[in-house]
Amino acid sequence: MIAVLGSQPGTRRSHPEALDLDGRLDPSVLDRLAQHDRATLDAALRALFPDVRRRMFHMLGPRSDLDDAVQDALVEIARALPRFEARSSLRTFATRIVVRTAYRHFGRAKEQPLELVAVADVVDPESRAASREALRRLYRCLAELPEKRRVAFVLCCIEGMTPAEAAAIEGIPSLVMRSRLSRARDEVLRRLDGDEWLTELIQARGGA
Amino acid sequence: MTQDEHTLAELGTIARAADAPPLSSADRDAMIGAALDRAELARPLRSLARRRLAWTAGALAAAAVVLLAILGSRAGPREANALTLASGDRVYTTDGAQIAIEDGSPTRRALRVLEGEALFDVMPLEPGGSFEVSTDELTVRVRGTVFVVERRARTTVVRVHEGRVEIEDGDALVVLGAGESYRSGRARERLADQGALASLGREVAARRSAAARRDAAGAISGPTSTRGLVSGEPPPAAPEHAGNEAAAPTIDANEERTRAERGSSSIAREARGAAWRRDGEPVRRAIPTEATETTSLAHIEALLAAREFSAALDASRAERGWRARMLEAHALVGLERPAEAARAYEDVARSADHARRPEAAYRAATLRSRALGDPRGTLAALDLVSFTGTGLEERALGMRALALDAAGDRDAASRAAQTYLERHPEGGLAGDLRALAE
């Protein structure tokens, strides 16, 4: 994603700039970040916001305090941006901070109550209601995992990262991430085993 | 696709497709504005005017502070609180110190001392790697050393116990060596107060020096060459990070020094046998002297230190012997060609002098695990040598356990993890391996 700073004359954002979240930033943008230029910091946070919120939602699941965690991550990103040296992409830089922030919120469970759905009620496996219920059950399961395995599962199985990419986010060797992921997958399957409703839903989706 | 794989794939699809609760643009703008305000509040004071910093719980949380707060009396040097980073670096602090880990990636480690005193025992870095510690007053950059950063009342003091650090203090750039101290805003000075972690720093530095002397006995070139495999770098093996004194290497140290001082006698022997006939006339090929070989390898080391990896690769391939092959591997790492580098290290592990084989095998295994994601290849590299009694024993054992687990051999992984925990209960990988040992 590329965000463009405003180019309206007379505004604080007087120079059109491309803020490439995945590529190299213009040196002038890095300079303004280092100088704590509010307009540049604001543009960076706006560009990152959808990613930050989506990733935090994947990390924590459906929780009423989601935006508290997002706020904490934004503060930390805003503090860290002046020291950003473009050794990684802006998106990777922000993702690391999101993951660190998520760790602090894992223990503060404020999850929505699980709505019981009888097996017989699942007539449409693609329905939004069915998907919401499946999501709740998944995150109830993830909440029981050790935090590091939970993060490994989210980054690789939900976010779609390779173990090497996820290891770079966490700052750990790839082998450690593979080990955590392998254990996380086993544990998720074990905990969801016997959940007839979820089993039927997944089978139905597979045949749809 | 198995049923389990299908289940996990479907769960991933459901989770990815789920939307976060909707948020208005006004709420989004408010969140961004609040984040900028709070970040501004926590900025360091530059003016002479004083105002109270609001160290709210939110600001502390935003700094990702790792608080090593221990109940009880003030910790002395031997009771300093210890934290081992995933990279193997160790951080020791006194009570109440506040440290923030800003970046913990394999190639860049960045920490911030917010308050108090912290001792850093830093692993030697690979090409392109960096380790830096910042305060609001200055930034310290190191290449593998032992040093202390103390911050109190907006003044930062840096004390170096081993190695060298580079300090960036505003516009000033200062290089500080072992035994030197630096106070922010006042340059180099001799400080009577050595700090609470002084004796621990001397102890850690002494262990590193002892390890460096053992490794120097197997130096790549003769005694006139640059130290270690890359100019200015301490030898890569860091046995002190095992948290205990490394067992003495199984090879006699005197024998190692004698080998080093004789230079690469094996290369000289190869060259002496290279005379051949051309056009019926005997042709005597120039025999590389010990001095010539030393000069060539030193030149390659200098190219590596200057990050001229392509030139270093070409030069190393023009030379024979396991030392040149090791430098070739380093150059390939710098050029981000991990598969070739791993093969080169493995060649060295098969052909090098005894003292250098574990290092080469470990480097190959590290590449196969980190860069190539190949657990079976990692295990094969580790199997090339025995690490028993070497400074790499702990890390090799931990890596083996993780590789076995990643390769699906759970029973063997559990046994390896148990062995690691028995020998190194406080090791850098103990946290992750406890889960494997269950």
Helix (H) or strand (E) holding B434: helix B430-437
Buried residues in B18-39 as b, exposed as e (16+ CB within 10 A): bebeeeeeeebeebbeebbebb
The candidate with the shortest Cα–Cα distance to A4, out of A33, A51, A36, A44, is: A44
Phi, psi of B174 (to 5 degrees): -125, 135
Phi, psi of B165 (to 5 degrees): -130, 155
Q: Pseudo-torsion of CA A135, A141, A144, A146, nearest 10°?
A: -80
Q: Which chain B residues are closer than 8 Å to A148 by Cβ?
A: 432
Q: Give the residue ranges of DSSP H helices in chain A.
A: 27-34, 38-60, 66-80, 90-106, 128-142, 147-153, 163-170, 174-192, 196-207
B64 close to A (CB below 8 A): yes
End-to-end CA distance of chain A: 33
A112 touches B: beta carbon within 8 Å: no
Mean of pLDDT over chain A: 82
Would you call A89 an interface residue with chain B, using a CB distance cutoff of 8 Å?
A: no
Strand, coil or helix: B234: coil
- Closest residue to A135, CB basis, from B14, B23, B107: B14
Residues of A in Cβ contact (< 8 Å) with B436: 179
Q: A61-86 as b/e, with b when 16 or more CB fall inside 10 Å?
A: bbbeebbbbbbbbbbbbbbbbbbbee
> What pLDDT sits at residue B67?
38
Amino acid at B188: R
Distance CA B109, CA A171 (A): 9
Residue of B34, B102, B107 with shortest CB distance to A80: B102
**From B375, B399, B435, residue closest to A146, measured CB to CB:** B435
Per-residue pLDDT, A56: 96
Q: Tens digit of pLDDT per residue, chain B (438 long)?
A: 888 888 999 999 989 988 888 999 999 999 999 999 888 876 655 432 333 333 333 333 333 344 333 222 344 444 457 776 666 677 888 878 888 877 666 566 788 898 888 988 887 666 556 788 988 888 888 866 888 998 887 788 998 888 778 887 766 677 777 888 888 876 666 555 677 788 778 777 776 666 655 554 444 333 233 233 323 333 333 333 333 333 333 333 343 334 434 443 333 333 333 333 334 444 344 444 455 556 688 888 888 877 788 888 999 998 888 889 999 999 998 888 999 999 999 999 998 877 788 889 999 998 898 778 889 999 999 999 988 878 788 888 988 998 998 888 888 998 999 999 888 887 777 777 887 776
Judging contacts by C-beta atoms under 8 Å, the chain A residues touching residue B403 are: 175
Query: Å from A200 to nearest chain B CA?
Result: 11
A86 touching B, CB under 8 A?
no
Please tell me the distance in Å from B136's CA to the nearest CA on chain A: 12
> What's the one-letter identity of residue B50?
R
pLDDT at B210: 64
Residue A191 contacts B where some CB pair is shorter than 8 Å: no
- Residue ranges of chain A with pLDDT lower than 70? 1-18, 108-126, 206-208
> Identity (one letter) of the amino acid at A23?
G
**How far is the alpha carbon of A140 from chain B, nearest alpha carbon, in Å?**
13
Judged by DSSP in three states, B311 sits in helix
Residue B392 at interface with chain A, using a CB cutoff of 8 Å: no
Model ipTM value: 0.85
Q: Determine which helix (DSSP H) or strand (DSSP E) holds B270, and give its type and residue range.
A: helix B265-272
Q: What is the pLDDT of residue A24?
A: 79
The DSSP secondary structure of A99-154, one letter per residue, reads HHHHHHHHTS--BPPPPP--GGG---TTSHHHHHHHHHHHHHHHTTS-HHHHHHHI
The C-alpha of B40 sits at a distance from chain A's nearest C-alpha, in angstroms, of 8
How far apart CA B131 and CA B11 sit, in angstroms, is: 39
Report the C-alpha gap between A177 and A162 in whole angstroms: 10
Both tokens assigned to B182: 């630096």
Helices A38-60 and B25-41, packing angle to 10 deg: 110
Interchain CB contact of A117 with B (< 8 Å): no
pLDDT at A181: 93
- Give me the pLDDT at residue A8, please: 39
Considering only the beta carbons, identify the residue of A46, A87, A185 that sits closest to B8.
A185
Backbone angles phi, psi at B329, to 5 degrees: -65, -40
Sign of CA dihedral B180, B186, B191, B195: negative
Please give the residue of chain B at the shortest CA–CA distance from A62: B20
Find chain A residues with C-beta within 8 A of B408's C-beta.
182
HSE value, Cβ hemisphere, 13 Å, CA-based, for A172: 23
